[in-house]
């Protein structure tokens, strides 16, 4: 990323981002919890992109360069925490489960007066306790490829997630064998080709659903053979049906 803005203190606030709005690349000396109460949150780092619906929040460790993107209107809640406070116990961005209690704590903390009152201190203590208990979920994460031929394959699929060509066919387009590309997916991205393509399609599906696209249309545009196959994959990944995310 270029033109990286440095903000020593990570803000704690609630804000509305209009469709298509973005927050450019920046970093904080503090940790930050980023949660979308409405819409679909996309955070991009040098390592790739993380996508989260309203049942999940994204933890951004101190010093991580990141940018925000919205495709539909986004109700964004940001919680800044000192670098000494890391309730997640991790060493990189993470996706956390947001249950109803944690959701209400995040909303209350970002909307309450930002003072040093005892009441706010107690609210923050309970929020930290709930963050410590929040499960770290498998991230809907699209890592960024570095190998040129692998990047070419990924860019082709990003342009058309419904592209159902095999890895061998994609390899012929970029001048690489199926075996070579399969090895590159594991070595460069830590995923198999089917795993990466499913992550891509689910990411695209979340955006389309937030824009109000019908489930059957989303399934078609993202490459599933049927709406039922899409619904099954979505439910296994997120724990509920895609109809939840209709705009």
The helix or strand, by DSSP H or E, that contains position 217, with its residue range, turns out to be: helix 215-221
CATH number for 197: 1.10.10.60
For residues 107 and 151, state if they share a domain. no
- How many structural domains compose the chain? 2
Mean per-residue pLDDT pooled into runs of 10, the chain (247 residues):
77 86 89 88 82 83 88 84 83 86 95 87 94 82 88 95 96 96 94 94 87 92 96 88 70
For residues 159 and 79, state if they share a domain. no
Q: What is the pLDDT of residue 171?
A: 96
3-state SS, residue 107: helix
- Per residue in 174-200, pLDDT tens? 999 999 999 999 999 999 999 999 999
Strand arrangement, sheet containing 13-17: 13-17, 74-81, 31-38, 56-60, 94-97, 136-137
Q: What is the pLDDT of residue 1?
A: 47
For residues 122 and 207, state if they share a domain. no
Of 137, 157, 185, the last residue of a domain is 137
Instruction: Name the residue range of residue 107's domain.
Output: 5-137
């Amino acid at each position: 990323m270029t033109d990286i803005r440095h903000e020593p203190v990570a803000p704690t606030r609630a804000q509305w981002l209009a469709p298509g709005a973005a927050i450019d690349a920046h970093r904080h000396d503090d940790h930050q919890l980023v949660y979308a109460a409405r819409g679909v949150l996309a955070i991009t780092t040098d390592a790739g992109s993380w996508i989260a619906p309203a049942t999940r929040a994204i933890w951004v460790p101190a010093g991580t360069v990141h940018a925000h993107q919205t495709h539909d209107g986004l109700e964004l809640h940001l919680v800044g925490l000192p670098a000494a406070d890391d309730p997640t116990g991790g060493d990189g961005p993470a996706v956390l489960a947001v249950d109803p209690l944690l959701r209400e704590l995040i909303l209350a903390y970002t909307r309450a007066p930002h003072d040093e009152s005892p009441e706010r201190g107690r609210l923050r203590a309970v929020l930290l306790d709930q963050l410590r208990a929040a499960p770290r979920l498998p991230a809907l994460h699209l890592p960024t490829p570095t190998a040129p031929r692998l990047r070419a394959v990924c860019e082709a699929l990003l342009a058309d997630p419904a592209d159902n060509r095999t890895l061998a066919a994609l390899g012929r387009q970029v001048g690489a064998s199926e075996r070579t590309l399969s090895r590159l997916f594991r070595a460069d991205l830590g995923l198999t080709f089917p795993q990466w393509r499913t992550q891509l399609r689910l990411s695209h599906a979340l955006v389309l659903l937030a824009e109000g696209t019908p489930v059957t249309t989303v399934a078609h545009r993202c490459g599933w053979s049927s709406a039922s196959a899409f619904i099954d994959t979505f439910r296994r990944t997120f724990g509920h049906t895609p109809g939840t995310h209709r705009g």
